[in-house]
Amino acid sequence: MDITSNPWVVTAADVAAGPVTLWPVSGKCIIFQVEFEQYNNATDSATVKQANGKDFVYLHAAADLQTVRSGMVGHADGITIPQNGITTTGTVRIYHK
């Protein structure tokens, strides 16, 4: 896990034991794009939530195992990835301001 740079990078192993908070609720953050990559199965997925528990981005793996992108998403009230929010394998990259 690397949350000291841009993009934030979180792997499935990072969220296997518990949730990861990337941005606390105290203030809005601007998210440009979320990417899901390096997964092994077309059934894998990644969920990114706001700190209040509401879904922010849900990405489902592609059949050809290519990187899946959210596109421009905007403001968020905190960012967390819940426990097992990245299924089995994969990496989530979150590009932010």
Total domain count, the chain: 1
pTM of the model: 0.92
pLDDT for res 95: 97
Q: How far is CA 42 from the centre of its chain?
A: 17
The answer to whether residue 18 is domain-embedded is yes
Distances (CA, A) of 74 to 66, 67, 81, 88: 24, 20, 17, 27
pLDDT for res 27: 74
The answer to whether residue 2 is domain-embedded is no
Distance in angstroms (rounded) separating the CA atoms of residues 34 and 27: 19
Beta-strand relationship, 68-69 and 29-37? antiparallel
Per-residue pLDDT tens digits of the chain, which is 97 residues long:
888 889 999 999 999 999 999 998 777 889 999 999 999 999 999 999 998 889 999 999 999 999 999 999 999 989 999 999 999 899 999 999 8
Distances (CA, A) of 80 to 5, 60, 66: 16, 18, 24
The answer to whether residue 1 is domain-embedded is no
- The domain in which residue 24 lies consists of 8-96
The answer to whether residue 3 is domain-embedded is no
CATH number assigned to the domain comprising residue 40: 2.60.120
pLDDT for res 46: 97
pLDDT for res 85: 96
